[in-house]
């Protein structure tokens, strides 16, 4: 999947479309620079689970925010994680998967060999408000058919 977003609303809509395709146990790993639009995309994804987008703020300070939706929705922000051991310290590995849907900002912090099976999505800023949202783990045909 490779989509162009023209603005924040577009990214929110794409997030919603990704969100409604997710199943319990899915882990979405978001990659992209500060201001790329990761949290904006997460808001759209959360709305697919009935979570008001205003409830979803930057999770940088809480690191793991869990919303009591069905399935539970976890918004994780690893910006402050500096070492691999910190992932264990915050209970990262116990938190993700299971019956929940998890979305991780700053997935760059996770060692590559530990992120197998994650749905990896990269957001790249273009000129002005243009963003490219790309994932090799989301099939564009499935996308068009749903």
Residues engaged in binding ligand ADP (CB under 6 A):
5, 7-8, 10-11, 32, 34-40, 105, 129, 131
Min. distance of Cβ 96 from ligand ADP in angstroms?
19
Judge contact between 76 and 105, C-beta under 8 A.
yes
Q: Which does 15 bind (CB under 5 to 8 A by kind): ligand ADP, Mg ion, none?
A: none
Instruction: Say whether 70 sits in a helix, a strand or coil.
Output: coil
| Rounded Cα–Cα distance for residues 81 and 45 (Å) | 23
CB-side exposure of 9: number of CA atoms within 13 Å? 0
Task: Choose among 131, 107, 143: nearest CA to 9.
Answer: 131
Q: Which does 47 bind (CB under 5 to 8 A by kind): ligand ADP, Mg ion, none?
A: none
Near Mg ion by CB under 5 A: residue from 16, 32, 38, 92: 38
**Beta strand segments in 9-117, E:** 27-31, 64-67, 73-77, 101-105
Judged by CB under 5 A, which stretch of 2-10, 23-31, 61-69, 103-111 contacts Mg ion? 103-111
For residues 1 and 65, which CB has a smaller minimum distance to Mg ion in the complex? 65
75 binds Mg ion (CB under 5 A): no
For residues 3 and 96, which CB has a smaller minimum distance to ligand ADP in the complex? 3
């Amino acid at each position: 999947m490779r989509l162009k977003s023209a603005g924040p609303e577009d990214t929110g809509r794409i997030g919603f479309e990704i969100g409604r395709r997710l199943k319990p146990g899915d882990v979405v790993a978001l990659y992209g620079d500060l201001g790329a639009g990761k949290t904006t995309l997460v808001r759209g994804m959360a709305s697919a689970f009935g979570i008001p987008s205003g409830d979803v703020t930057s999770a940088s300070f809480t690191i793991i925010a869990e919303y009591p939706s069905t399935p539970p929705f976890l918004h994780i922000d690893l910006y402050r994680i500096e070492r691999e051991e910190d992932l264990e310290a915050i209970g990262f590995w116990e938190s993700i998967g299971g019956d929940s849907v998890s979305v991780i900002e700053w997935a760059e912090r996770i060692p590559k060999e530990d992120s197998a099976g994650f749905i990896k999505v990269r957001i790249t800023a273009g000129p002005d408000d243009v963003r490219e949202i790309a994932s090799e783990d989301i099939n564009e045909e499935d996308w068009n058919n749903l």
